[in-house]
Amino acid sequence: MANTLIYLVDDDDLYLKTAVHNLSQNKSFTIKTFTTGEDVLKALSKKPDVIILDYFLDSEKPNAMSGIKVLQEIKQIAPDVEVIMLSGQEDIDVAVNSVKYGAVDYVVKNKSAFIRVQNDIKRVTKTKAKDKDQESFKKFARTMIIFLIFLVIFLILYLIDETLFGLIPSPGEVPPPVEEIPLH
């Protein structure tokens, strides 16, 4: 199984450590942690497969970017990176805003949060792998179609003129001898 790069962003150190502990049980996950949205935005040059983002990133540091603002920036910089929004809030408006701005899911920080996040990560990685396979197949199909078009054109030209308009010798025609060039 391919390694999955996960960025985990939370300003609560205790929750961050707990999340890393739980998620690192899956050996195919490589986890990088960030305590601010600003830091994760700087690290987007190495695109992660999934970002797990706390909704209230400004709870510990009031001047920090909020999770929604970070989500909006991520989607502008790297729209294909999937984001799972985390929050201690069971507020439907928070969940709706998260999905509205591009989060693939909204997970409430409770007993089942880590199981749900792991299931989301598996779903995201399977979908990405499926999309990649489909793109590879489309590329192969386009190549085959182009090859077949050239083959059909060649066959039509051959049927019109067996010599392909003088490019190849006629059947039964002996090609002229190659003149030897003396070497001095």
CATH of the domain at 43: 3.40.50.2300
Question: Of 42-46, 93-97, 121-125, 132-136, which range is least confident?
Answer: 132-136
Q: Establish if 18 belongs to a structural domain.
A: yes
Pairing type for strands 105-108 and 4-9 reads: unpaired
What is the domain extent for residue 109? 4-132
User: What is the structure's pLDDT at 143?
Assistant: 92
Q: Establish if 53 belongs to a structural domain.
A: yes
CA–CA separation, 123 and 2 (whole Å): 14
Tens of pLDDT, residues 101-145: 999 999 999 888 889 998 999 998 888 878 788 888 999 999 999
Confidence band of 156 (pLDDT split at 50, 70, 90): confident
Q: Establish if 123 belongs to a structural domain.
A: yes
Q: Establish if 44 belongs to a structural domain.
A: yes
Q: Per the structure, how many domains does the chain have? A: 1
Say what the pTM is.
0.71
Q: Establish if 81 belongs to a structural domain.
A: yes
3-state DSSP percent of the chain in helix, strand and coil, to 5? 50, 15, 40
Question: Of 76-90, 106-120, 156-170, which range is least confident?
Answer: 156-170
Q: Establish if 33 belongs to a structural domain.
A: yes
Q: Establish if 73 belongs to a structural domain.
A: yes
Q: Establish if 148 belongs to a structural domain.
A: no
